[in-house]
Amino acid sequence: MRYLKFFIILFSLFVGSKLSAQQAAPNQKMQWFADAKLGIFIHWGIYSVNGISESWSFFNNYINHDAYMKQLNGFTATKYQPQEWVNLIKESGAKYAVIATKHHDGVALWDSKAPLATTTLKNSAAKKDLITPFVAELKKSGLKTGLYFSLPDWSYPDYDGFTRDRKRYDYKQDAPRFTKFQNYFQGQLNDLSAKYNPDLLWFDGDWEHSGEEWQAKNILTNLRKVNQNIIINSRLNGHGDYDTPEQGVPVVKPGSPEWELCYTMNDSWGYQPYDNHYKSSNMIIRTLVDCISMGGNLLLDIGPKADGTIAPEQVKILKDLGRWTKKHGEAIYGTEAGLPDGHFVGKTALSKDKAVLYLYLDYKTKNGILLNGIKSKIKKVELIGNKTPINAVKLNETDYFLDVNESDFDNDVTVLKVFLNEPIQLSKEKQQTISLETLFAASQHLDLTNYILRKLSYDLNSGVNIFQNTNLTADGLEFKSGIKNVNPKVNNWVIKNAEALYKTTGGIPAGHYQGSTALSADKQTLYLFVEGTPTGPIAIKGLKNNISRIRIVGEGTMLPHEIYNKLYWSKIPGIVYIPVPKDKLDPELTVIAVLLDSPIDLYREKVGAIESNL
């Protein structure tokens, strides 16, 4: 009996160990992806000839199918240099690339031998297999290989879908014909898998049929016969390994442990010569940081021209990205999601052992950087890029001031590396709110104006307004604090910015704006507190409302704004970018008023695939 018990215990340990290994396997498989942080998406196809929407242009009847397919005659790839592409991708700091092998139009960019396949080798002016040399260069460079593959094929005669208002047949009524299509596209997938052994397969178009109709389980079985560790994106009807939000930067962290934002530089996936709505390099770098801070990746798209060259605007963004990623690599690759909101104005990330905290600043300041609610002890702080030591002044048991020389700030995003004595521990104690006495009292030694005004903005953001029962009016005139020995800087600031203090309520939830906010009593004016000098336009995510006007509080100066990634066919709001002129910044804390067309309405839903772009 004793030996039997020993055997049972030993067996249970063995089984438990084996189960743990099995459970850990997916994490190990996903590790390179989780560490990569930046990938490059490539939409290249015949749609670049006329500069029209890839596949959707004929699906939506903007151009008929015959006219669309005539672009094959102009798709030359005469200047295609796959090695140059890969060198540029590597220079950007990306760790993987995903190239479209076949979009919904059914044009295969490799030498597909599938019956009735339309390929660039057989049917286009290029007369080339375009995927093989690119994948060869990718593998030579050490970058991971991703292949995009459209499940639907709107040009294939045995696929049921054709255009928005025309179907070839009802697949439920003609199962043998749909089986022909299943055999066709799965044959193409098996061919891609055998030829290129990709690290990642990026599916698209799964919304047109169920997982059973696509035979998703069979697809995965066949792919894993070639590469047991192949990674699949989320667009295989729930059979994927990670979430793939599209265009809209998530406001809150996606639910999947690994995720990737696929994102365009302008408003188009493929090359469109008249789409000049490019985001700046600064915006793209900050979007990458946004993804890093939530533990995700940025899959940034380029759309090469029909001759195989890449537009100079896109080349510049990739090179600018490369400058920043090369300098800050240790704060990018292999990091994990950062701190919850409220500890620092900016984005954060953590090392895998949680003993290093990375702080990302997209603004410059002479007033120091406040880090609060950190229970762990800070051993030292360095500037990423040149390891310059940063002075960390301990204010109390959990709060610190970090002082960065003005000359040390990066022009896009500065990164500080905070070394802790243990895996980070955060204080659960609620921050003490500031009182009128503390706010207005003049300091005998240090000028704490900026510090206490920031604390005031944090309180306002959380819904604590110490001015509710004072004689403060909306215009600030004749305000008396009733405090002796008043700090004149604070007093002047309060009078100047009285509008943002008078009867205002708590701000908007975390994720929409990286600093503190407050709302007017009618919820129709959003007040943004802007610290330091922003390196680019400040951003608001997930704002459903239309904006009536924007101005600087206390100055009255009207400001423009521009919206990116609000695509006309998508319900997901774009990002509002507001440029703030340097000569209008308050030396202590700037306040921006955003007047909305109605009480504030915010989008916090999960961002998914685009299933229609009529």
Residue range 499-531, pLDDT digits in tens:
999 999 999 999 999 999 999 999 999 999 999
Distance between CA atoms of residues 373 and 390, nearest Å: 19
Work out the pLDDT band at 13, boundaries 50, 70, 90. Answer: very low
Distance between CA atoms of residues 370 and 373, nearest Å: 10
Report pLDDT digits (tens) over 75-105: 999 999 999 999 999 999 999 999 999 999 9
Asked if the domains 30-331 and 436-596 are classified in one and the same CATH topology, the answer is no
Is the CB of residue 393 less than 8 Å from the CB of residue 381?
Answer: no
Read off the pLDDT of each residue in 415-424 and give the average, rounded to a whole number.
98
Read off the pLDDT of each residue in 155-180 and give the average, rounded to a whole number.
96
Encode 574-586: b = buried (16+ Cβ within 10 Å), e = exposed.
bbbbbebeeeebb
Cα 220 to Cα 208, 237, 244, 497, distances in angstroms = 19, 12, 18, 59
Residue-level pLDDT at 530: 98
What is the CA angle 547-498-597, rounded to 5? 15
In this structure, the number of other CB atoms found within 10 A of the CB of residue 110 comes to 25
Domain boundaries, the chain: 30-331, 347-420, 436-596
Residue-level pLDDT at 614: 41
Residue-level pLDDT at 232: 96
Residue-level pLDDT at 88: 98
Mark out the alpha helices in 441-566 (DSSP H runs): 449-461, 488-496
Q: Classify burial at 533, counting beta carbons within 10 Å of its beta carbon; exposed 0-12, middle 13-18, buried 19 or more.
A: middle
Mark out the alpha helices in 116-174 (DSSP H runs): 120-123, 131-141
User: Which of 378, 355, 305, 340 has its CA nearest to residue 74?
Assistant: 305
Residue-level pLDDT at 521: 96
* Chain-centre distance for alpha carbon 343: 21
Is the CB of residue 294 less than 8 Å from the CB of residue 283?
Answer: no
Report pLDDT digits (tens) over 435-482: 999 999 887 667 889 989 999 999 999 999 999 989 999 999 988 888
Residue-level pLDDT at 2: 31
* Chain-centre distance for alpha carbon 112: 34
Selection from 237-251, 274-288, 462-476 with the highest mean pLDDT = 274-288
Answer whether residue 586 shows pLDDT above 50. Answer: yes
What is the CA angle 550-554-558, rounded to 5? 30
Encode 493-505: b = buried (16+ Cβ within 10 Å), e = exposed.
bbbbbbbbbbebe
Distance between CA atoms of residues 27 and 199, nearest Å: 15
* Chain-centre distance for alpha carbon 30: 19
Residue-level pLDDT at 517: 98
Answer whether residue 5 shows pLDDT above 60. Answer: no
Phi, psi of 55 (to 5 degrees): 65, -45
**Taking the domain 30-331, which CATH number applies?**
3.20.20.80
Residue-level pLDDT at 78: 98
Token pair listed for 21: 């290994």
Answer whether residue 19 shows pLDDT above 70. Answer: no
Answer whether residue 611 shows pLDDT above 70. Answer: no
Phi, psi of 365 (to 5 degrees): -150, 145
Residue-level pLDDT at 165: 93
Residue-level pLDDT at 444: 65
Distance between CA atoms of residues 543 and 599, nearest Å: 11
**DSSP E strands, 166-275:** 166-167, 200-204, 231-232, 260-263
Over the chain, what is the mean pLDDT?
92
Work out the pLDDT band at 569, boundaries 50, 70, 90. Answer: low
Fold of 436-596: Immunoglobulin-like (2.60.40)
Token pair listed for 487: 């700090």
Please state, for a pLDDT cut of 90, what percent of the chain lies above it. 84
Report pLDDT digits (tens) over 538-566: 999 999 999 999 999 999 999 999 999 87
Answer whether residue 358 shows pLDDT above 90. Answer: yes
Fold of 347-420: Immunoglobulin-like (2.60.40)
Q: Classify burial at 228, counting beta carbons within 10 Å of its beta carbon; exposed 0-12, middle 13-18, buried 19 or more.
A: exposed
Cα 64 to Cα 134, 350, 379, distances in angstroms = 31, 51, 66
Residue-level pLDDT at 24: 37
Strand-pairing partners, residue 519, are 505, 526
Work out the pLDDT band at 607, boundaries 50, 70, 90. Answer: low
User: Which of 117, 199, 196, 125 has its CA nearest to residue 155?
Assistant: 117
Distance between CA atoms of residues 65 and 46, nearest Å: 13
